[in-house]
Amino acid sequence: MTEHQMIEHETEAAAPGSAKPRPGNTTGKSKSDKLSKLLLRQNGATVAQLQKQLGWQPHTIRAAISRLRSSGLTIDLDRSGKVARYRVVSEKDQ
């Protein structure tokens, strides 16, 4: 194979759409769903707990919480303890 043919072959291999597809969500639940479930717990969740469960960075967690708020959920940030906790507030709690 000539050098020119090798370059063309490498270019074709790197073309969009030729990459292997990413594995899909096999559990049926997205990380956003998991986030909502964790925030629905009675005591909510700390950022550290959310990081451990979701594998996200703190800024990603805060952005996802902001999106949940924008979608209509009321999410409380409780700073009364040693560590701040986020939790979904139901209508009966308000």
* pTM score: 0.66
Residue 68 to residue 36: CA distance in whole angstroms: 8
- 47 touches 4 (CB < 8 A): no
Residue 86 lies inside a defined structural domain of this protein? yes
Residue 89's pLDDT is what? 93
CATH number of the domain where residue 51 is located = 1.10.10.10
Q: What is the pLDDT along the chain (94 residues), one digit of tens a residue?
A: 666 555 555 545 555 555 555 555 555 579 989 999 999 999 999 999 999 999 999 999 999 999 999 999 999 999 999 999 999 998 666 6
DSSP H or E stretch at residue 20: none
Residue 7 lies inside a defined structural domain of this protein? no
Residue 91 to residue 16: CA distance in whole angstroms: 48
Residue 75 lies inside a defined structural domain of this protein? yes
The Cα angle at residue 43 between residues 46 and 56, in degrees rounded to 5: 25
Residue 57's pLDDT is what? 97
- What average pLDDT does the structure give for the chain? 82
